């Protein structure tokens, strides 16, 4: 177990911002296209964070031309250039699956959280 933990720890990325379910994030990922690399941003609401340690992933949802689009990112993926927290949201659930059923403005709106004291580490 110790050795496996070491292997996992070696993959941890530094500079990953602390964010929570309900926050609006902008994930910039690297994309290989015809031998060239470019960056693509995906901005939406974080519906869930799941998994432990460096295996953790998060699910981002946004609405594109009236259609819901979801993407799952591994937090420590080398393909992620950076994660920016655009807005922090105030939610009462750990998993925001109910957002999938919402339409119109409600589907993209989450009450903004008051500025919380920033936790160390996290």
Partner 1 sequence: MLLGKKLGMTQVYSEKGDVVPVTVVEAGPCYVTQVNEKSIQIGFGAAKKVNKPMAGHLKELKVKYLKEFKVGNAADYKVGQELKADLFKAGDKLKVAGTSIGKGTAGTVKRHHFHRGPMSHGSKSHRIPGSIGAGTTPGRVEKGTRMSGRMGNERVTVKGLKVVRVENEKNLILISGAVPGPGNNLLEIYKA
Name the site residues for partner 1 (rule: CB under 8 A).
1, 3-4, 7-8, 11, 30, 32, 55, 74, 76-79
Q: What minimum distance in Å lies between the beta carbon of 57 and partner 1?
A: 9
Q: What minimum distance in Å lies between the beta carbon of 5 and partner 1?
A: 9
Whose Cβ is closer to partner 1: residue 50's or residue 77's?
77
CA 18 to chain centre: 10
Whose Cβ is closer to partner 1: residue 1's or residue 122's?
1
Whose Cβ is closer to partner 1: residue 19's or residue 73's?
73
Give the tokens for residue 5. Answer: 């933990």
Q: What minimum distance in Å lies between the beta carbon of 78 and partner 1?
A: 5
Give the tokens for residue 121. Answer: 């580490």
Whose Cβ is closer to partner 1: residue 6's or residue 114's?
6
Q: What minimum distance in Å lies between the beta carbon of 73 and partner 1?
A: 11
Residue 60: which residues within 8 A CB-CB, separation 6 or more? 25, 27, 42, 43, 44, 45, 46, 47, 70, 71, 72, 73
CB atoms within 10 A of CB 54: 16
Could you identify the residue written with the tokens 């177990």?
1
Coil, helix or strand for 56? Answer: coil
């Amino acid at each position: 177990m110790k050795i496996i933990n070491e292997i996992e720890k070696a993959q941890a990325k530094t500079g990953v911002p602390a964010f929570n379910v309900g926050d609006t994030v902008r994930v910039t990922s690297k994309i290989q296209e015809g031998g060239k690399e470019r960056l693509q941003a995906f901005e939406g609401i974080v519906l869930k964070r799941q998994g432990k340690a460096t295996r953790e992933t998060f699910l981002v949802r946004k609405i594109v031309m009236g259609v819901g689009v979801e993407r799952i990112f591994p937090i420590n993926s080398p393909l992620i250039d950076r994660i920016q927290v655009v807005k922090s949201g105030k939610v009462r659930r750990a998993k925001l699956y109910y957002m999938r059923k919402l339409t119109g403005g409600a589907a993209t709106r989450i009450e903004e959280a008051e500025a919380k004291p920033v936790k160390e580490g996290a």
